[in-house]
Structure 1
Amino acid sequence: MATEEKEELQNENVELDEAAAEAAAVENEFDLLQAELSELKDKYARVHADFENIKKRLEREKYTAVEYANEKFAKDMIPVLDSLHGALNSVKADTSCEELLAKLKEGIELTQKQLVTSLEKHGVKMVGHDEPFDPNIHNAIQSVDSDTVESGQIVQTFQTGYKYKERPLREAMVVVAN
């Protein structure tokens, strides 16, 4: 019987060795998975931090863009202001009234032309006086009978309208024919 017990003990030792080896393999795999999990957590933390940094940077850039959105427009208005200063400085005490009025008129016309050009460059356009009546860009303040103009056409403009691209900034105040 001693040999049978020895064989049984050897079989149990082999089984225990196999179980220990299997347990060691499972423990080793568990350690590898723990290391991989730790690495993935670290990667996630870095990606999340990068995302937050990008989000903050984009928010700052958006704020800066909004803050300085009118910079080009302002730069284009400076020459118009210079023209107005030039017109005022050109008036001298020893000029006659006719010369003064002619210089002022010329200066104002040039300044107006410069201002219109600058506004158009930035998408601001005058509502045309010769356009057909459009309630989106015209405000009919009066209607009159007219033999020379078709019904619904603009007869007179009291105040010029303006639009930015296709969006009205200010409606034109007009008189419309019946």
Structure 2
Amino acid sequence: MKEEKMTDTALEVEKLREQEAVGETEANEAGEAQAQKEPPIDYQAKFKEAQDLYLRTHADFENAKKRLEKDKAMALEYAYEKIANDLLPVIDTLHAALSSAKQEGSEGVAQGLELTLQKMHEVLAKHGIECVECGLEFDPNLHNAIMQVQAEGQEEGQIVEVFQKGYKYKERLLRPAMVSIAKN
């Protein structure tokens, strides 16, 4: 009986091996048929495509990083701009007090105000804040013409009077100078 069981088992193992062999053959035939239907995959092209995508992404990242560094540097460079704008009315008030003191004949007060204004302009210049020059030529980028007046002996468009000084911070204009220009 043991021999019969062994032979039956051996027969079953043999049948399973035959079925596996038939399955493998069918699988190989199916794989070959599928391989014939699909074109072969070009791994070199896929690699080049992935490499190109990586390089572009890396370049975009580096550009964004440089742009943020530049923005940060600009923010630090022009950090005093807000406080400079807040100080301009104080300087205007000192100029008005100086002209008033000169009109009243208060020489001591006028000298004190002149020294204060001089020191204030030195401190502002130290931080890159300077007055806008108001020569004879009108520059719309630096001056704001608030009126036109008849002026003998001056060409049309020249600055006649400065009402309020203008200031610039490094290369940026904080406030244009308010002027009147000649109209003939």
Q: TM-score, normalised by structure 2?
A: 0.42
Q: TM-score, normalised by structure 1?
A: 0.43
